[in-house]
Amino acid sequence: MTKLEIKQELEDIQKVAKINEGKNLKYSILTMGCQQNENDSEKLSGIIENMGYTKTENLSESDLIIFNTCCVRENAEDRLFGKLGEVKKYKEEKGTIIAIGGCMMQEKHIVEKLKESYPFFDIVFGTHTLHKFPTDLLKVLNNTKRIEDILDIDGEIIEGLPIKRNDTIKASVTIMNGCNNFCSYCIVPYVRGRERSRQPKDILEEIKGLAKEGYKEITLLGQNVNSYLRVEREKNIPLEEYEGVNSFSTLLRAINKIEGIERIRFISPHPKDFTNDVIEAIRDCNKVCKLIHLPLQSGSSNILKVMNRKYTKEQYLSLVEKMKATIPNVTFSTDIIVGFPGETEEDFAETLDVVRKVNFEQVYMFIYSRRVGTPGDKMENQIPEEVKHKRFNELKELVEGQISVRNKQYVGSNQFVLIEGKSKTNSQMLTGRTDSNKVVVLEGPEDLIGKMVNLRIISEHMWYLKGKVV
């Protein structure tokens, strides 16, 4: 858990700011992928705004365009290449600086493709070199040479970078980086490196600062969030304990005590790391939301084994039962992949069986996507596209049926809702979320924004509920 000195980077921020002074420059940032990437983009925005750029959504007026890429599934690649085709004209017309960063840049074949087909970019940077963006940009401004700044080894934990957050009520806080699990379909361990956790003190101070600024909801982020500090403990790496924090459960308990914070969420956990102490901490901490994300991936024990998930269908279901027995009002969300190599109709039926049994609040469904460099990509028994789509639709139908039944059960109930802001589709309405992460819209005065409000649910729609202040 060594921390990197970022003196040079902070100095380079000042140098770029000086070059940019008085120029009224604009930037846009396009973020693809998960919340971790959203959080990285907030850090990039913090750095970039300190260098004298202001944000715009309009690519044509941007002097700097940053792509923060994802590579978990193939469709993100298609999106990047499509967008690059679009911004080429801005580079040609006004010399817009184009920077491409994030997970996809850790893949050598992608960087090669960029150089071959989109050679007009100025900077590529990876997941371990985000903090060096000011230094890279300074080099481009000084001699306009193309920069490739990608590290294959794991990056260190960086503290002390500026950050520009997108929201004023909800904030995400990265607590650990990387993944050691190597699920056989997943590219993440290859592009985000090995697990490493932030120091408890740095996390708690960040969250206390957010509470002072008025943030109400904290989402703890990590590719394997509930294995926080596990590697450090196993390897006996000296730990600076702070407020009793030496594990994920003690971290939840410490954050629960922070005044001003009303809600704590965390993503994405792994079922194998839901040890009893974590389950008990969720039960005991009143601010920790009782919606637990429990990625299933497949309901078939055979497929789970090939996926290297380290649990069987039965173990997953008994974990769900244990949580239901321990945590009052617990609900679940999950991730499911259909069409993993070798998935038979019987395997898929097992997945449907788990979905029926658990009755998830929310299911994020994915069609298996081959990722270069993963064991799954080398498997010979790939599933034909039409079979994958057929299974996906079948799963979707089951899930939507369950959700519409659940939605009806909400009607007439009272729910505590954190009001997040005005509705994006109707500015006369406010919007917020229940503990179980359901969107609720309501009529009400703007000063409810940022408050926890007790609402009566008066009607239900597929993707949101309607509520009334009680």
**Residue 348 lies near ligand 5AD (rule: CB under 6 A):** no
Angle between helical axes of 385-410 and 345-358 (0-180°, round to 10): 10
Give min distance, CB of 179 to ligand SF4, in A: 3
Evaluate whether 185 touches 371 at the Cβ level (below 8 Å): yes
Residue 306 is a binding residue for ligand SF4 (CB under 6 A): no
| Amino acid, res. 328 | P
In the complex, what is the shortest distance from the CB of residue 406 to ligand 5AD, in angstroms, rounded to a whole number? 21
Q: List the one residue out of 73, 465, 385 whose CA is nearest residue 393.
A: 385
Q: Is the peptide bond before 268 cis (omega within 30 degrees of 0)?
A: yes
Q: Does 337 bind ligand 5AD (CB under 6 A)?
A: yes
Min dist CB 80 to ligand SF4, Å, is: 20
Question: Footprint of ligand 5AD on residues 66-105 (CB under 6 A)?
Answer: 72-73
Q: Do residues 318 and 364 make contact, with C-beta atoms less than 8 angstroms apart? A: no
Task: Decide if residue 134 touches ligand 5AD (CB under 6 A).
Answer: no
Q: Is 335 in the site for ligand 5AD (CB under 6 A)?
A: yes
* Widest CA span in the chain: 65
Strand-pair partners of 30: 67
- Residue 394 CB, nearest distance to ligand 5AD (Å)? 17
Phi, psi (5° rounding) for residue 168? -110, -10
Tell me which amino acid residue 222 is.
G
368 belongs to the binding site for ligand 5AD (CB under 6 A): yes
165: phi then psi, degrees, rounded to nearest 5: -85, 150
Of the candidate residues 27, 67, 125, 185, the single one contacting ligand 5AD (CB under 6 A):
185
User: Which of 103, 188, 358, 417: binder of ligand SF4 (CB under 6 A)?
Assistant: 188
Nearest residue (CB) to ligand SF4, 102 versus 189: 189
Burial 103-121 (b: 16+ CB within 10 A, else e): bbbbbeebbeebeeebeeb
Q: Which residue has the tokens 């940032």?
A: 29
Backbone φ and ψ for 366, nearest 5 degrees, come out as: -130, 145
Choose the contact partner of 121 out of ligand 5AD, ligand SF4, none; CB within 5 to 8 A by kind. Answer: none
Contact flag: residue 182 with ligand SF4 (CB under 6 A): yes
When CB distances are held under 5 to 8 angstroms depending on the partner's kind, the choice from ligand 5AD, ligand SF4, none that residue 133 binds is: none
Which partner from the list ligand SF4, ligand 5AD, none does 181 bind, CB cut-off 5 to 8 Å by kind? Answer: ligand SF4
**Which of 54-62, 134-142, 150-158, 367-375 is the region at the interface with ligand 5AD (rule: CB under 6 A)?**
367-375
Q: How many other C-beta atoms are found inside a 10 Å radius of the C-beta of residue 252?
A: 24
The encoded tokens of residue 133 equal 């963006």
Q: Which stretch binds ligand 5AD (CB under 6 A): 126-134, 205-213, 275-283, 365-373?
A: 365-373
Q: Which is nearer to ligand SF4, 219 or 224 (CB)?
A: 224
> Which listed option, ligand SF4, ligand 5AD, none, makes contact with residue 182 (CB within 5 to 8 Å by class)?
ligand SF4
Locate the DSSP E strands across 375-423. Answer: 414-422
Q: Which of 39, 177, 181, 300 binds ligand SF4 (CB under 6 A)?
A: 181
Q: Are 355 and 336 in contact (CB under 8 A)?
A: yes
User: Where along the sequence are the contacts to ligand 5AD (CB under 6 A)?
Assistant: 72-73, 185-186, 295, 297, 335, 337, 366, 368-369, 371
